[in-house]
Structure 1
Amino acid sequence: MEERSPSTEAVFAKFEGGVQPGCAVGVIRGGELVHAAGYGFADIEQGMRIDADTVFNIASTSKQFTAFALLLLARDGELSLDDSVRRYVPELPGYTDAVSLRQLMHHTGGLRSYIELLLLSGRAFGERTTREDAFAVIARQRGFDDVPGHAFAYSNTGYFLMSLVIERVSGQSLADFSNANIFSPLGMTSTSIVDRYPAHIARLARGHSVSEAGVSIAESAWEQTGDGQVHTSVRDLALWDANFYAPRVGDGAIIDEMQRSGVLHDGHAVGYGGGLFLSTRSGLTTVSHGGGWAGYRSELLRFPERQLSVIVLSNRDDVDACALAQKVAQAELELPEAAQTLPLPHLVTLGGSAEHRPV
């Protein structure tokens, strides 16, 4: 039975004053969605308020779905994680023969991020960019930033290339493959991958930029998938979260692989699995990922040993979704104050890039 937690209500009360964009929040305990609520407006112009069924662009939080799709194909013998990416994308430069799918999944492939490359080439968030644009700038690179397997460096290029591999192996777009093999079987009826703009999405929260100058729409028509572009709701993400405890799609081996850290050539664990950051807080394992793209922010934080998860989805760019999720978890689990957050490059705004997660 869903109910509202007073401690969680207090965290998000600031989004209830006036007409402003805000957040949708879910708290899952023991497989039950015990708190599901919205704060603020999904669409100010239309007067539509946020609730647990409002759909948000979850940006880099999408990566776990791409990893899961890749692992489904690996389980079925359609590919191996240790295959070279060029086996499936031979148009890549020859030096990428050394990069495995596993390294792409763990951000240890040494490839430069296409987002920064496109921005450096003069492209802007306000204009449409295609998959072909992204691939062209990747293919023009003449070498690695790091030797594959020697360093962890968060890069959207790896997950974008994973989407191409999934499409070529399955014969379906990533959107169609994910819908048929993940979203529909789990009953995630409000979830989709948007690979063409403009697209009509029911109950979509409009992304916003919020500053001293005011509130304005902040959305982007970039069409690349794999590294982002999943659009979903709190209620649907609760179904996804439940699959990590009792798999209805995939199996226990895939779940284990998702939550197993990548390892560098020297044996160092990088703290990143299949689209998921792996860490600890107060002696408890945490499994999480955040994201940000234009006027959207998201965080899915799981404490598997306590069977507690927190979902924060926002349609405003001044929100630190990770910090809010940690604050909710702190109250729910009676934890001490979280460590200070530091920037990581998997949140992209209209003016630059930064992301936050606990270290």
Structure 2
Amino acid sequence: MKKIVTLFLFVFSFSVYSQYNFKVADSVLASYNKPGSPGVTVLVSKDGKVIYQKSGGYANIAKGELINNKTLFNLASDTKQFTAACVVMLSQKGKLKLDDNLAKYFPDFPEYAQKITVQDLLNHTAGLVDYRTAFWIGGKEVNVLSNEDIRNMLKATPLNFEPKTDWSYSNSNYWCLVQIVEQVSGMPISKFAEKNIFKPLKMKDTHYHRGVATLRNAAIGYKMDDVTYTEIDKDTGVPGGSGMFSTTSDMLKWLSEMQSKKVLGTAFWDVMLNGQKYTIGKEVYYSNALFFQALSGKKAIHHGGDLDGYHSDMSYFPDENVDIIVFTNRGDFNVLSMQKAITSQLFGFKYSWPAVEKPVVVKVPGEKIEQYSGVYEAEGMLFEITVAENAIHVLQFWDGSNYDIPATGQNSFTLAQAGADFLFEDIISGKAQTMKLTQEGETMPFKRAENYDFPDFSRFEGSYFCSSLNAKYTFSQQKGKLFYSLNGQNPKQVSVIEEDTVYIGPSIVLTFHRNNNEVMGFTLNHVRVKNLEFVKI
């Protein structure tokens, strides 16, 4: 009986999909149907009919539960369009106005709240720092935050920019909108959305929910840990920029309504789709939690979502009347690649799935690499080489840059992204005497240095405090290396140092301030959190 059902399903799938040959998607999804692999689900609709719906991989690895059409996924930031919909509905009911200022609903906020409107919050032109990023910078666990934690931080933190003068994606905007919806409607946003959106559209499998622990049929999020997948924290925090779980089938009902406007009405969709838009790039617009831009050469209305262990993308192509929905519970999956694989078939362009480059690991015994450890000098530049597994760890003393470089031979190592090759020669008494660095066709020999002066980073040493985040960064130096510790945690090495500018990660920049040549503090900047002041204590 089991074989007959399998055969029937195969024939059914073939008959539905026979007009379209989604070979790439089929191949990728099938590759995830193996033990220990989280997965992906895809739904494609054209002219109101499902032309492709398939899944691969596990929703719950420990329980052996495969993903299916009823599996609920965390929508992450795709939640924002539903929060925006609640706001638009309340405005049409006369409960609020889109040009109301933030101070009306948050009277305890600083004076800047007078300049921020509800529409600014909807369009990310308010200037509020992103609370998830801010608390991460401050060393706080985002998933355990309360609404009061977020409120107090926003009250104490300056804006990224003057309202309406720029665009910056911020979860704080949509956290504020959730609070406004609940104030005005007198009910949790989960109940308001259920009554006004989910029930009218018969979206029975869509819920606002905090975490997956008590949610039936929900996919657990996973991250790659070395060569295996591990579960991420099941709690996703308070509703704000995220908080919804749903299925691809329910989300198709939402995208179909976007086209037909039969249930929620033309007036509602006129505001959602044709309301005030903000230009954020050439031919890219944002309005009410939706991007309007070209995807795969076609006009599209779309949004995506990203949280640890979850990624989503929902796209509607109005001219072709095509909907594409991709959800995943594996942190290393690119949903936009799947979208392109689907649109290449539908819109007739060539696309190849990105090849996964497997690094060539050359095994070099640790005792052999130890021959290369030491400090090498040329023209005043110092490199420190230490041992890593089948690699060397390189520190540039002059700016603190440090990185691991894999072995490409028994005495050669290559940093591919920089086009840099390191070759060690002249082994005397078990130590290489020469390190040759080749980059952009030029080779420079570095000689082993036995006597050298470590750079002095003492100007940065000390502790610095940010009152709005209640966070403390402490800097210390040791043998030419600068370290920082956040709230007393284990020290980490600083990435790059340039005069009075310190980079502690790929996106966090600290600019130190002086008074009479004495460092008094620093300003921290991130793309989503700007102008955070830390004072030396």
Number of the residue aligned with 1:300? 314
How many angstroms does 1:203 deviate by?
0.6
1:102: which partner in 2?
Answer: 119
- What secondary structure, in the 3-state scheme, does the structure 1 residue paired with 2:181 have? helix
**In the alignment, structure 1 residue 118 sits paired with structure 2 residue 135:** yes
- Do 2:283 and 2:293's aligned partners in 1 also have CA atoms closer than 8 Å? no
**1:321 has 2:335 as partner:** yes
Partner of 1:348: none
* More divergent stretch after superposition (260-269 vs 130-139): 260-269
Structure 1 distance, partners of 2:63, 2:322, is 34
Report the residue type matching 1:133 in the other structure. Answer: D
Which of 88, 93, 110 aligns to 1:93? It is: 110
Q: Quick one: which of 132, 136, 139 aligns to 2:155?
A: 139
Distance 2:215 2:506 in 1: 26
1:307 partner amino acid? N
2:381 aligned partner: none
Q: Greater Rg, structure 1 or structure 2?
A: 2
2:346 paired residue number: 332
Does the residue aligned with 1:51 lie in a helix, a strand or coil? coil
For 1:60, the equivalent position in structure 2 comes to: 77
* Aligned counterparts of 2:323 and 2:233: Cα–Cα separation in 1: 28
The within-5 A match list for 1:108-257 is 108-125=125-142, 128-141=144-157, 143-195=158-210, 200-257=214-271
Q: SS in structure 1 opposite 2:286?
A: coil
Query: What is the CA–CA distance in structure 1 between the aligned matches of 2:316 and 2:280, rounded to whole Å?
Result: 29
1:34-92 CA-partner distances (Å, limit 9, x unpaired): 22221111011111110121001010011110111110111111111111022122232
Using the TM superposition, give the Cα deviation of residue 226 of structure 1 relative to its aligned residue in structure 2, in angstroms. 3.0
Amino acid corresponding to residue 170 of structure 1 in structure 2: S
What amino acid does structure 2 have at the position aligned with 1:306? E
The match for 1:29 among 46, 50, 62 is 46
Where does 1:63-82 land on structure 2 (aligned, <5 Å)? 63-82=80-99
CA RMSD, Structure 1 to Structure 2 (Å): 2.6
Q: Deviations over 1:75-118 (max 9, x none)?
A: 11111111102212223222111000111111111111011111
Q: 1:86 to 1:220 in 2, by over 3 A?
A: farther
Q: Which moved more, 1:1-10 or 1:152-161?
A: 1-10
User: More helix per residue: 1 or 2?
Assistant: 1
The more displaced of 317-326 and 56-65 is 317-326
CA distance in 2, matches of 1:310, 1:264: 24
Shift of 1:175: 0.7
Q: 1:91 to 1:220 in 2, by over 3 A?
A: farther
What amino acid maps onto 2:93 in structure 1? Answer: D
Separation in 2, partners of 1:202, 1:146: 42
Tell me what 1:343 maps to: none
Aligned equivalent of 1:39, options 39, 42, 56:
56
1:200 and 1:80 map into 2 onto residues whose CA distance is 37
Determine the structure 2 residue equivalent to 1:344. Answer: none
Alignment check: 8 A CA contact 2:277 2:287 kept: no
Q: Distance in 1 between matches of 2:213 and 2:192?
A: 18
Shift of 1:297: 0.8
CA contact (8 A) 2:167 2:280 kept: no
Q: Compared with structure 1, are the counterparts of its residues 352 and 185 closer, same or farther at alpha carbon in structure 2 (3 Å cutoff)?
A: farther
Higher alpha-carbon deviation: 320-329 or 218-227: 218-227
Q: CA deviation at 1:16?
A: 2.6
- What one-letter code is carried by the residue in structure 2 that aligns with 1:16? N
Higher relative contact order (CA 8 A, sep 6+): 1
1 CA distance for matches of 2:296 and 2:280?
28
User: Deviation at 1:172?
Assistant: 0.8
Further displaced range: 28-37 or 93-102: 28-37
**Which residue type is aligned with residue 170 of structure 2?**
S
Task: Give the distance between the partners of 1:150 and 1:318, measured in 2 at CA.
Answer: 35
Structure 1 residues 165 and 173: alpha-carbon distance in aligned structure 2, compared to 1, 3 A threshold:
same
| Alpha-carbon contact 1:152-1:270 (below 8 Å) kept | no
Distance in 2 separating the partners of 1:352 and 1:76:
45
Amino acid at match of 1:75: Q
Provide the C-alpha distance between the structure 1 equivalents of 2:233 and 2:276, rounded to a whole number of angstroms.
Answer: 33
Name the structure where strand makes up a greater proportion of residues: 2
**Alignment-derived partner of residue 299 in structure 2:** 285
Instruction: Kindly indicate whether the alpha-carbon contact (under 8 Å) linking 2:127 and 2:168 is maintained by their aligned counterparts in 1.
Output: yes
**In percent, how many aligned pairs have the same letter?**
27
Structure 1 portions without partners, runs of 5+: 341-350, 354-359
Task: Give ranges in structure 2 of 5+ residues lacking alignment.
Answer: 1-11, 355-504, 508-537
Q: Is the CA contact (8 Å cut-off) linking 1:129 and 1:221 kept in structure 2?
A: no
Give the letter for the 2:175 counterpart.
F
CA contact (8 A) 1:26 1:52 kept: no
* Gap change, CA 1:154 and 1:109, over 3 Å in 2: same
Q: Offset of 1:173 from its aligned partner?
A: 0.6
Paired AA for residue 144 in structure 1: L
Distance 1:318 1:236 in 2: 25
